[in-house]
Amino acid sequence: MTAKRTKRASIKDLAREVGVSPTLVSFVLNGKQKQYRVSDQVADRIREVAKRMDYKPNGFAKSLREGTSKTIGVIVSDIANPFFANIVKKIETVAEEKGYMALFASSDENSDKLSNLLGRMLCKEVEGVIVVPCEGSEDTIRSLVDRRIPTVLLDRHIPDIRTNYVSLDNRKAGYDATEELIRKGHRKISMICYDMKLSNMKGRIEGYRDAMKDYGLSDEIKIQYVNIGALEKSGAKAIDKIIAEGSKAVVCATNSITVMCLRYIQKLKLNVPEDITVMGFDGGSEFDFYNAPISFMTQPTETIAKKSVDILISQLQENEGFITQIEIEGAITNHTPPNY
């Protein structure tokens, strides 16, 4: 037997119950009570009936009336990455609190896919976008700006394009991560990073270099570049070279590189930190699988996500072309697994 579908209460239903016009109900529910001089007694009665009848506004109809979709698009590089997964969840929460729905997708660091996803999202009439740019996406991002589509870049930015962005202060993060190792007594410190020219990667490398120079360790600067498409293979070669060169500590520029590094060091039957100290980025509970204490640079994902949504929705609601560029400071976290 099929259950009968319950009819959703409408403004007309509420008006009939209270004994007033639908227009008056609409004024109260849309916060225009004082503007149209509706008495407190009537307004309270309308709200009480709306609550009792479980009235929910028809968002689709409202968006048609207002000429807006109340939808934003969000494209990250890899939604399965814990760092981006945390940001996506917070973006969804903040957007919902502000009355917006978010559509999510992953570019997989592929500029053609990013361009295609943006085109499809815009066809679905998203009002604005939050985008993690990838290598080769400059023309796509420039097109968004030229077309005056409200845009906020997340995690990375493109220096030659003047647009909104929210990211970690990557140079300072790279500097602080390296300085922490130096303060622990290390002098032979290497860095492993992706062979990419993205702003976040460049900033972290600059920070590493600057810290080494400031502490008189210019001769010890050693950077190994790995391939994001063949991380395990290129990462193993990088670590082999670091060990052969006598490095006793390594700064891993991303979470995925950190996990790869820990996995390969474990395979070599080396101990962290006795044989080599690891400084990571964006760590978390996955480090519990490696019985070793490590430090990592933590990004304030909630703040980054909230500010991204705030900037985008402010542009949508105020319809102004202001530019907001924010770099947020990270913090070093010391992680010790439960059984260490």
Q: What is the mean pLDDT of residues 22-50?
A: 82
User: Would the pLDDT of 153 be above 70?
Assistant: yes
Q: What is the mean pLDDT of residues 284-299?
A: 78
Question: Side-chain half-sphere of 182: how many Cα atoms within 13 Å?
Answer: 19
pLDDT tens per residue, range 256-286: 899 899 999 989 999 999 999 999 988 766 6
Highest mean pLDDT among 55-69, 212-226, 290-304: 212-226
User: Would the pLDDT of 59 be above 60?
Assistant: no
SS in 3 state form for the chain?
CCCCCCCCCCHHHHHHHHCCCHHHHHHHHCCCCCCCCCCHHHHHHHHHHHHHCCCCCCHHHHHHHHCCCCEEEEEECCCCCHHHHHHHHHHHHHHHHCCCEEEEEECCCCHHHHHHHHHHHHHCCCCEEEECCCCCCHHHHHHHHHCCCCEEEECCCCCCCCCEEEEECHHHHHHHHHHHHHHCCCCCEEEEEECCCCHHHHHHHHHHHHHHHHCCCHHHCEEEEECHHHHHHHHHHHHHHHHHCCCCEEEECCHHHHHHHHHHHHHCCCCCCCCCEEEEECCCHHHHHCCCCEEEEECCHHHHHHHHHHHHHHHHHHCCCCCCEEEECCEEEEECCCCC
Which one is predicted more confidently, 217 or 333?
A: 217
Residue 340: its pLDDT value, please? 56
Nearest to 301 by CA among 74, 84, 76: 84
Q: What is the mean pLDDT of residues 22-47?
A: 81
Q: Give whole-number Cα distances, 108 to 5, 62, 111, 117, 301, in Å.
A: 42, 35, 9, 11, 20
Among 45-54, 108-117, 264-273, which stretch is predicted with the lowest mean pLDDT?
45-54
User: Would the pLDDT of 5 be above 80?
Assistant: no
Q: What global pTM score does this model have? A: 0.77
Q: What is the mean pLDDT of residues 290-314?
A: 90
Residues 178 and 192 sit within 8 Å (Cβ to Cβ): no
Residue 285: its pLDDT value, please? 64
Residues 139 and 114 sit within 8 Å (Cβ to Cβ): no
List beta partners, residue 332.
297
User: Measured between alpha carbons, how far is 42 from 64 in angstroms, rounded to an integer?
Assistant: 28
Which one is predicted more confidently, 125 or 278?
A: 278
Residue 321: its pLDDT value, please? 66
pLDDT tens per residue, range 194-206: 999 899 999 999 9
Residue 322: its pLDDT value, please? 79
Tokens 């959703």 map to which residue? 8
User: Would the pLDDT of 236 be above 90?
Assistant: yes
Residues 159 and 311 sit within 8 Å (Cβ to Cβ): no
Query: Quick one: what percent of the chain has pLDDT higher than 70?
Result: 89
User: Would the pLDDT of 6 be above 80?
Assistant: no
As a whole number, the mean pLDDT across the chain is 88
pLDDT tens per residue, range 82-91: 889 999 999 9
Q: What is the mean pLDDT of residues 240-256?
A: 94
